[in-house]
Structure formats: structure tokens, C-alpha cells
Amino acid sequence: MAVTPVADRFDFPLEEEKTLELWKELDAFRTSLRQSKDRPRYTFYDGPPFATGLPHYGHILAGTIKDVVTRCAHQSGFHVERRFGWDCHGLPVEYEIDKKLGLKGPGDVEKMGVAAYNAECRNIVTRYSKEWEEIVTRMGRWIDFENDYKTLYPWYMESIWWVFKQFYDKGLVYRGYKVMPYSTGCHTPLSNFEVGQNYKEVTDPGIIVNFPLDDDPEVSMIAWTTTPWTLPSNLALCVHPDYTYVKVKDNSVDKVYIMLEDRLDALFKKPEEYSILERFPGTAVRGKKYRPLFEYFAHLKTTDPNTGPFRILCDTYVTSETGTGVVHQAPGFGEDDFRIAVAHGIFRKGEPVVCPVDASGNFTAEVSDFHGQYVKDADKGITKMLKEKGRLVHQGTFKHSYPFCWRSDTPLLYKAVPSWFIRVECIVEQLLENNKKCYWVPEFVKEKRFHNWLKEARDWCISRNRYWGTPIPLWVSEDFSEVVCVGSIEELEKLSGKKIDDLHKENVDDITIPSIRGNGVLRRVTEVFDCWFESGSMPYAHKHYPFENKKLFDSTFPADFVAEGIDQTRGWFYTLLVVSTALFNSPPYKNLIVNGLVLASDGQKMSKRLKNYPDPMDVVNRYGADALRLYLVNSPVVRAEVLRFQERGVKDVVKDVFLPWFNAYRFLIQNVIRLKEEEGVVFKCKEDFTPTNEMDRWITSFTQSLITFMKEELAAYRLYTVVPRLVKFIDQLTNWYVRFNRKRIKGEAGLEECQCSIQTLFSVVFAITRMMSPFTPFLTEHMYQNLRHLLPWKPTSNNASVHYLMLPQSRTDLIDKHIEESVALMQSVIDLGRYIRDQRVLPVKFPLPEVVVIHRDPGSREKVQSLQTYILEELNVKRLTIATDDRQYGVKLQAEPNSEILGKRLKADFKRVAPAVKALTDEQLLQFQEDGMISVLGHELSGEDIKISYAVDPAVSAQYSAHAVGGLMVLLDVTPSAEMMEEGIAREVISKIQKLRKKVGLQPQDAVTVLYEPSSSSTDDSSALSLDRIVQSHRQYIESTTKGPIKRFPQGPEAVVATPMAEDEQKMKGLAGVTLHLWIVSSSPPSSSSSSSLPQSRFVNLELVPGS
């Protein structure tokens, strides 16, 4: 089958839909897996998302990174299983049901029945699974949805039990009271790593209250708090043992307080407002007792100064940065409060602690005055009561960052709850060691953020007081003296004598186990697992390990690759590492890519409510999935930085990358077809082709170097270096190689040159198609389906998709660094020349007499000389001069201060520094360029602070303009001449003709004639006559370039009628006030009814005959 012509216009989204149909027809993904089944395995773990909401840009980004890496692994010779997973349990699901059914707390669930509640949860866990599959598939990601895993599958849950039993048998599980971040919206404690997911700026009350001392009621300790609701539970005060405290008299109210000397400004604005009576260290008040704020727990007070509550304690956690230096202690609502209370014998570890707040965050009957009130709502009433009691010293507000529940968006409370914990603190050193064995991209996340988090890791609360989750498999006696940990379904069936099909709470809670110690029957504890424990156990549970796939798992663990967002450093990455370290003292993954966050264009978090971002699928439908994929993976977000999503960035990918690339492919196919039609030569790729033309050698070498670079960088998982190089390569291909070789490729330099250039272009286009296939799977597939018919091998089912092919291997024999460096230098010369033209507003169509290239390195001068033909043509210059010394041309450096940067930094001193910067000499500026720093009037200035430009001394070389980069300088002779101006106008005429041909879809081989007519907007038509003369004098040049004759439009009514194919009228930029009117007509032989191919005359005399 021959190649098919490529249309001028290409609808990227529409063609992607066609490619999806092709993949469906080929069963492409599964076919690729069947083809690779005997290859070495590459293990990939996909973190399971919740299906209770639709995918957002964060999901699409992470999914694209995963797809790129796993495609690259497959195309590097591995078998890569890719199974989609679903997180089905936990708060995200329960919260949706609670909202739907209006459930306010555990009582409502118990009333409804756990079985009915869980049935509701089960019904929504895959609410959006169909949409997920559609969106993920539309994004071009190849992953198995049919052979998925769900955390609700009984076999998955059974592996969770096995993991937990290993922990239990190792002594890593315990039950205890601990102050935990508690969600009153979801009625459950959260893990400490869940807290960091949703901080908000809030304004809380900030009050200071007094605590009169028992031994001197006229003197009061004063403490500051932003949580008045915790004051009814106050059991102690804490001071720093080493800080200096003062007994201070408030002169305005004649009261005496004790507070930290460094915090006097927390209460007093001026020194005259207070009098210091005494100074002493914090230890001086240790053990003193004080009068309770409320009577709710006053009965707990003892007379022994060394025991019991309502006494002053010492601890170094007290700071001098906020408050009064005296910290109110409510052990039921603060981690440090709890720790200090246990350490000082306020109560013993394991004993219930004062915590008069229920699961919904309301006060219990113990706080009778506020019984049933939500604690945050009670702040005002408590403050008012304290004022009435004379205990309020000062009242204000405090703005600070506060954690909210990541699911219910309600403020978290820190609350003492009985929970089940995994001992993590005792394995911190192992966690740190295993983290060192992992390779992170970027590395700073591993070395800083994650390392610091692991270093401070705390025991992990893995229990949730909820219903929809994997039940914790502990059967206990009533007093917890006898505990049985179950590790499998079979084990529970043997112990209980019951047949078990499902492990959810409603199915196992009624199962009892006979006690072997005479404790009657053992019943399961009420809690379920934190869903993070379930996802952290995914490597084992998704394989139903160790009950199945043991040999396969043992040979493929740890995973070769995982990837998620930076927020997962305290989530999935962390739980994976904790579980694998506790189980096997091994990291769970070898290589890990961390992506940053995708924010709205204004830098805010993307919000459905604010509608501050475009719907992802709307963007895909406008520009295509490939464009969105490439935009995301070619952004700072793959370096774990923040990306402000801009839809125009996706559009720019299409405009700046895809269209030029597609046009190069189209140009190749056009000339393959032309070669057959005009020369009778059927093109076929030659795999062993070695080019000899200089530019062919360059682009071939550049391609092979890129293949080498890509292989090395992909092995290091550095997508952020690979993608920019691929994009740059497309620019090199389209804007340099194709541009410089169009005539050769079109056959204008002879058949042999044509065939060599087409062989080169094909090999390069085919190579970039394969290299880009993991990143832009749709466009590369579309191109490949045509290109494959030009390959030397026969099209078969094994090569039916570009994604079945391996990534290209570099041919080192084709790499020529000398030619690559030469062309790079040539490009720099051309770029500098273009810059000068832009600065002097001299379009390239106007030829200039000379370009001077100055370089001190002989090798560089030789490289420039070898490619002078391209430099002269591209810059439209008549002569190239190569020199070694810029002084002979009078070039000097000029410095301008960057007022935007320096003005802000230097402020008033900028006025003094600015003229000094402008006065810097050539020698000083050359040294500045070399060092990157310079001192000006005592200020150290760096590269961005000074803008350097180049000027030519008019006394030496008035006709030149200069610019430079590094050791390379370019000067252009910008002297205008009439001859060169006319040539520029001729080029402008050519440009307008070519645009008109393109507008009507003409191919180079189409035989047409161009007619023209100049006109002037003024009464003086000399300019129009000048244009006519220029066209005639440059006629041969115009006709050879446009591939057809150009004629003056005929005047008078005698012109024979014909119909133009295209017509246009445009103003000439090179001639003020002149308009050029163009017509394109067919050059084919005239029909019998017409003696000419000229268009209709614009003047036709008609005679009307009555009655005809």
C-alpha cells in the first residue's frame, strides 16, 4: 500500500478520536502486552484514586507521567503490567453518604444499621468509574481497567489482614489514648500526615486569663490562648524552666501578674503602664497550685503539691515568641499538654483523660453550662463567663494558619481518643536508611522534605471509628486481657466455625471466637482501618499476596517505578515506606517521580465553586490530549514546582510544536509522492543510509545524539531534561533543516540530491516519531500509520502500531560533534544577525552588503567559514567577512542599569549608582561579563542588574550595527542601497504570491499564471510605476521561485473572458502608498470557447435588446 496524501488542515482532537478507534480495532494495549509477555518485567505501582469525584489536572498530570514512563519501559524491551486501582473505603465515601442522607453522627448510623449504611457506600464507590475510564482513555493512557483492583474486594482486604498480623506478631501494634487531630465532621481521628492537606488562614479569639495562686491569691499567673473552649478542661499551667519571669504590677488596675519578661508587650503597650516587682526563673514557680477557672473538674484537685492537677509545671517547649510565656494545659486537647501531664503525674499513661467533648465536637454534660454546644461556637459564651468571674485580663483576636479536615472541610480539634497504633518511632532509623536506597526525581524532595518528615515520624494511628472500611482483625475479651489477631479468612473460619464470603463490618462484627482463657467469647474491636493503611499495603494486596502470586511478587518487589504529586510525601509515599520497612525492612520502590501542584492561572487552588480553571475535557476537545500532555510534562511541575495552568500554553503547544512538526511530515509525504509522479522513483527507507551532504550529516548526527541523550536521561527518570530537548529538536528540524533544504527536497538540485535529502528527512521524521510516541501517542500514531508504508519491512500485525516498536537505538558512527558544533555556531551567527535586523527594523527580504563575524578562536572561525553559504542566504547578505578583533570596527560596550530591579533594591541610592553604571569602561564590562559580578559605589551588582549592549563608534565604522554573545560578535553593514531595496521589494512580491497560492491550496507542480497590477493611493503614480519596473527587472527571479509565469494585467475592454482561481489586493510595505493587485489563473491549454487563459476584463459593454 502506498502512502496517502496529507491534507493541509489537520483537526488534532478529531484525528485523536480516529486513533482511539484504531487502537480499539487493534486491541492495541493488550496486543502490546501479549507481545512483551516473555520479556523481563518492569514493575509499576499505580496509586489508587477515589472514584467519588471526576479527574482534575493533578490526576491528569500524574497519569501522564506514569503513562510516559511505562510506555518508555515497554518500548525499551520490558513487560509492563499496568492495572488501574480504586480506593473504595474511608472518609471520602462516608462523607458523601452522610451528606446525602443527612446523618449527623454515629447515633444516626447505628439507628440506620451498619449493613444499610455500608450498602449505600458500596453503591457510590464507583459512581464516576465510567467517566474516569473514559477520561483516562481519552488522554491516551494505556492501563488495564478490566483487570483492576479495588480495596473493597475480599481478596484485597484479606491481604490487609495479613499485613496487619505481621505487624502485630512483631509487637508493632498497641492500643492507647493519644491526642490526635480529630474531624468532628467525619467523627473520627486522622493520621498526623493527613493534617497537612488543608490548612487555612483563620481569625480566632486571643484572650489572656488569670490564675490566682493558692499561696498568694493577690498574685495571678496569666496565660494566653486562642482556644477558649479548652479552658473548662484546664488542668495545669506550664512555664519554661530557664526563662526569666517577672512579678509585674498593672498600674491601670492595680493587679499583680506573673508572666515572661520578654512577653510584656503582649499585655502592655508602654513601660509606664507597668511596674516590675521581682524577677526569677521559671523554676521558682514550679509546683505552685492555683485556683481553677471552672468548677467542672475542681474535685480532682489534691492537697499534695507534687501530685494532681491545677499546679504549675515546667517544660522547655514553652516559647518566647507568642503569648505570655505561661501556657494553659488541657491534656485532653493538646499533644504537648498530654505528654507533660503524664510526665508530671497529672494522670497515668493509659488512664482516661479529661476530655468533655463528644464525637461531633459538642460539649458533654460534664461541662454543664455549655452542654450540647459545638465547642467553637462556645468560645464567646466562655469568654463572657470568664469576664463575669473576673478572670478575663485581655481580649483580642489572632490570625493564624489552622488545619481543617481534608474531607469535610471542618476545623480539626486535637482530642484524646482511644486508638490503635503502629509503632513507627522505633523504626525511624530503618525508614531513613531505606529512603536512602530509593532514587527520587527531583532529589531535593527526598533529601529535604521527605527526609525531614521521616526524621520526625510518629506512631501511626491506623484505626478509624467508622463503618465503611476493612475491619481491624482483632478479637478481644471485654477487658482486653485476651487478644487474638486474625490474618486470613481461613484462620477466622477455623477459629469461629463460620463460613465467610465478605470481610466488611456488617459481616464480621457478629462473629465471635471462643476464649481459650475462660473469658467467654472474644468480640471484634469496633474500629476499621484508616484507608491510608489500605493504600499503603497496595503492593501486597493488589496481588493477593501471600495467598497468591507469591513467586511473582518476590521476583518483582520492590517496584521499579511509582509517581504521584508532592502532597503524597506525607501520604502514599510515606505509608508505602512504613509498611514495607515494617514488613521486610526494604523500600517499596526503586525509582520515584514527584510532580508539583497544578494551580489556577491566578495562583490560587483550583476551585469548582470559583470556576477559576477550564474543564480539562473542554481543553482536550479544543486542542487535543497530546497538546495537554506535552504542556504538562514540559513545565516546571515535573520538577516538583508549581504550575499556574494557562490554557493559552496548551494552544501554544499546537501552534509552536505540533503544526511545524506536522508540516515537516506533510512536506516529506508531498515530496515522496512527487518523486514517484515526476521521476517515477518509488521511495523506500534505507536503514543503512549514510548521508554525505553537510546539512544531512548535521541533522542526522543531531538526531543520533538526541537518541543517546534521551536513553541516558530516561534511565535517570529526568523527564524535565528530555522533553525540552525533544521540543527543541522539532524546532531544529523544521526551522533549520527543512528551511535550508527545501529546494533539495523538492528536486531543484537534481534527482540524486533530492533522494539523499528525502532519505535524511524520512529517517529523522521516523526517529522523532518513535521518540515522541510515549509523550504524544496520538499524533505519532497518526504519522506512523502513513510512514510505515515507506519502511523496508512488510507491514504486519506485529508492527501495526508505533507503540509496538522499540525506541530507536543510536548509531554512534553517524554522530559528528564537529558538524553539530559548526551548525550551532552558524545558528548563533544567524540569530545575532536577525536580532540586529529586528533592532534596526530591517526585514530579511531587504538584502544587506556585508556581515562581519568576529571570534578569537581559529576553530570557530573555520566552522563559520565552512557554512558561509547558509549564513549569507539566511541573513540575505552579499558578503561574509571573518575577523579576530572587534577594535578595528570600533565596537564598544554600553551599560544600562536595570531600573526595575535596582530601583527596588537600592531605593534612594539608585540615583547615585545609575550614572556610575553607565560610565563603566569597556575593560570593566568585559571583566563583569567574565566574573558575573562587579562592585559599583559599594554595591555588588550581578548579571540581571546590568543590561549590556554593543555600539559601533561612528568615527570608525559608521555603517555597522553590532551584537554579541559569549565570544562571538556579529556586525551587519546596514547601509541601504537602491539595488538592494529593489531586491527586497521583489522578495515581498514573491511572498504575497506564495501566500495566495497557499490560500487556494495549490501544489508546487500546479501550472498557473500570476497576473499583477500596481496602483497608487496618490495622484502621483511614480511609485506604482516603480513597482512595475521592479517586477519586470526581477521577473526571472520571481518566476523561478514561484514556479510559474508572472504577467502584467491587460488593460482595456478587449481582454478575453476567463475566471481567476484566486484574487487578492495588498499594500506593499516596501513602497509607501502602493497597492499590489494579484490574480492567479490556470496555465492549462484554453478550451475551444476561449482563446486565452486571461481573466475576465473588469470593463464589459453590454447592450440590452428589447424583447429578447
Distance of alpha carbon 278 from alpha carbon 288, whole angstroms: 17
User: DSSP letter string over 693-737?
Assistant: SHHHHHHHHHHHHHHHHHHHHHHTT-HHHHHHHHHHHHHHIIIII
User: Rg of the chain over CA atoms, in angstroms?
Assistant: 39
Q: Is 727 left (phi over 0), alpha (psi -120 to 50) or beta?
A: alpha
User: DSSP letter string over 83-112?
Assistant: EEEEB-SSHHHHHHHHHHHT--SHHHHHHH
Residue 453 among the catalytic residues: no
Distance of alpha carbon 465 from alpha carbon 467, whole angstroms: 7
Beta bridge partners of 1077: 1013, 1065
Question: Is the separation of the CB atoms in 185 and 178 below 8 Å?
Answer: no
Residue 888 among the catalytic residues: no
The CA-based angle 30-33-38, given to 5 degrees, is 150
Task: Find the catalytic residue in 572, 661, 698, 736.
Answer: 572
Residue 87 among the catalytic residues: yes
Parallel, antiparallel, or unpaired: how do β-strands 439-441 and 589-595 relate? parallel
Cβ neighbours of residue 809 under 8 Å, at least 6 residues apart? 707
Distance of alpha carbon 1103 from alpha carbon 1098, whole angstroms: 16
277 is written with which cell numbers?
516587682
In the block, which residue shows the cell 495467598?
547
| Residues found in the chain | 1108
Task: Find the catalytic residue in 18, 494, 608, 947.
Answer: 608
Cis check for the bond before 40: say yes or no (omega within 30 of 0). no
In the block, which residue shows the cell 575577523?
883
Residue 502, exposed/middle/buried by CB under 10 A (0-12, 13-18, 19+)? Answer: middle
User: DSSP letter string over 193-232?
Assistant: HHHTT-EEEEEEEEEEEEEEBSS-TTEEEEEEES-GGGGG
In the block, which residue shows the cell 523500600?
587
Task: Find the catalytic residue in 568, 755, 785, 868.
Answer: 568
Distance of alpha carbon 189 from alpha carbon 1012, whole angstroms: 82
CB atoms within 10 A of CB 873: 11
Question: Is the separation of the CB atoms in 244 and 260 below 8 Å?
Answer: yes
Residue 894 among the catalytic residues: no
Question: Is the separation of the CB atoms in 565 and 595 below 8 Å?
Answer: yes
Task: Find the catalytic residue in 23, 46, 48, 411.
Answer: 48
Q: State residue 107 phi and psi, 5-degree precision.
A: -60, -40
Task: Find the catalytic residue in 453, 475, 532, 661.
Answer: 532
Residue 546 among the catalytic residues: no
Question: Is the separation of the CB atoms in 669 and 8 below 8 Å?
Answer: no
In the block, which residue shows the cell 525506541?
807
Question: Is the separation of the CB atoms in 215 and 292 below 8 Å?
Answer: no
Distance of alpha carbon 69 from alpha carbon 714, whole angstroms: 8
Helix, strand, or coil (residue 553): helix
Residue 505 among the catalytic residues: no
In the block, which residue shows the cell 501531664?
341
Terminal Cα distance for the chain, rounded? 59
Closest CA to 289 of 355, 218, 387, 216: 216
Beta bridge partners of 797: none
Closest CA to 691 of 748, 764, 743: 764
Distance of alpha carbon 166 from alpha carbon 470, whole angstroms: 16
Question: Is the separation of the CB atoms in 980 and 848 below 8 Å?
Answer: yes
Distance of alpha carbon 452 from alpha carbon 825, whole angstroms: 46
Task: Find the catalytic residue in 399, 605, 686, 743.
Answer: 605
Task: Find the catalytic residue in 23, 75, 86, 87.
Answer: 87
Distance of alpha carbon 308 from alpha carbon 607, whole angstroms: 50
Residue 661 among the catalytic residues: no
Distance of alpha carbon 186 from alpha carbon 168, whole angstroms: 27
Active site residues: 48, 87, 532, 568, 572, 605, 608
